[in-house]
């Protein structure tokens, strides 16, 4: 009888030991859904073999995720868009070969990268900071392929114009920073004008503060209408996404105001003629944030550039078409490298 009690006690102790972390995890998800979002990104990075690293540059710290080492193919540096972070690229990295050297950096002030003054958030300010990062991690020992989406595409284009020796080729995905060929303004441009005339008091749809505004942002940025399951709502996942962003909204507002100023808003358009690296443009045909006609503006200035327009796709190309995006990027890199003499030579 005593022996049976001892065995029962062992089971109770073991069960309690297992229950504590499980209950703690469930409680954290219910009480702090933002914790689940962070765990999700951590797990996905780990699954894909990406390691988070830091680069310190004279008191300024960059946070980035990387995978692989420099090889016969050029390294790939990926620049995310406004109010996003390095993990934006996980959906695309999933479909890129594991032997490629990939670097996804948090843009100035975003996520784990140092947040300083507004000078760093203009497009040219961000370009200077990204070049500082590139030199610090010695990414430009060999010319690399630069990828940028939205605001990151604006920065990438200006970077290629200012530091041509660093770049062997580049891909711009729905970049902002140029005018529309249509005489009327894009929806995004109209909103910018509304902001200016209202003394910056309107809500900015790219800076959601509630679950409803988060859903509105999804609808604005994505052509595919994702139906949010009731279970997801109850679990508080959307609230978790809002909670993760909420502490940074003042900063996002500051960045937004900086990049819509004329010197930043048209930065890419004004630097296009200085780009010498082979250029690849990917755009969602149903982009509601930056009009797809921008692709033709780039094509007019740089007629040799390759343009891929994706049907049934909005502004969030990397989320809506990650497999296709990865395939197009890789094809372009290989094509340019082969044109320069094959895979045995560096880009």
Cite the active site residues.
150, 287, 315
Contact 67, 41 (CB under 8 A): no
Give the gyration radius of the chain's Cα atoms: 22
- Residue 183: strand, helix, or coil: coil
Beta strands in the chain (DSSP E): 51-57, 60-67, 76-79, 102-105, 144-149, 167-173, 279-284, 306-310
C-alpha triplet 227, 231, 235: angle, nearest 5°: 115
- Residue 215 burial (CB count, 10 A): 15
Beta bridge partners of 64: 53, 105
Q: Which two tokens stand for residue 266?
A: 């048209």
């Amino acid at each position: 009888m005593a022996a049976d009690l001892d065995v029962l006690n062992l089971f109770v102790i073991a069960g309690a030991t297992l229950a504590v972390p499980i209950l703690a995890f469930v409680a954290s998800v219910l009480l702090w859904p933002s914790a689940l979002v962070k765990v999700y990104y951590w797990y996905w990075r780990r699954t894909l073999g990406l390691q988070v690293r830091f680069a310190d540059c004279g008191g300024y710290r960059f946070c980035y995720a990387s995978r692989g080492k420099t090889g016969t193919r050029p390294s790939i540096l990926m620049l995310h868009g406004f109010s996003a972070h390095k993990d934006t690229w996980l959906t695309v990295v999933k479909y890129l070969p594991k032997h490629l050297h990939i670097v996804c950096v948090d843009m100035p002030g975003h996520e784990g990268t140092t947040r300083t003054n507004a000078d760093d958030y203009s497009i040219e300010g961000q370009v200077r900071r990204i070049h500082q990062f590139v030199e610090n991690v010695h990414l430009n020992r060999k010319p690399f392929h630069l990828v940028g989406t939205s605001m990151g595409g604006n920065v990438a284009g200006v970077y290629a114009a200012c530091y041509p020796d660093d770049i062997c080729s580049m891909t711009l995905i729905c970049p902002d920073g140029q005018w529309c060929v249509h005489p009327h303004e894009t929806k995004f441009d109209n909103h910018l004008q509304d902001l200016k005339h209202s003394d910056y008091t309107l809500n900015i749809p790219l800076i959601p503060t509630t679950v409803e505004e988060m859903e509105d942002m999804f609808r604005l940025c994505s052509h595919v209408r994702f139906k949010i399951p009731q279970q997801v709502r109850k679990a508080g996942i959307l609230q978790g996404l809002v909670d993760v962003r909420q502490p940074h909204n003042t900063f996002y507002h500051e960045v937004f105001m900086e990049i819509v100023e004329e010197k930043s808003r048209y930065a890419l358009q004004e630097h296009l003629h200085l780009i010498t690296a082979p250029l690849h443009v990917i755009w969602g045909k149903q982009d509601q944030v930056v009009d797809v006609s921008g692709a033709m503006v780039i094509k007019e200035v740089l007629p040799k550039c390759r343009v891929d327009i994706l049907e049934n796709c909005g502004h969030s190309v990397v989320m809506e078409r990650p497999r296709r995006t990865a395939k197009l990027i890789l094809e372009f890199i290989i094509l340019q490298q082969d044109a320069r003499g094959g895979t045995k030579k560096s880009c």
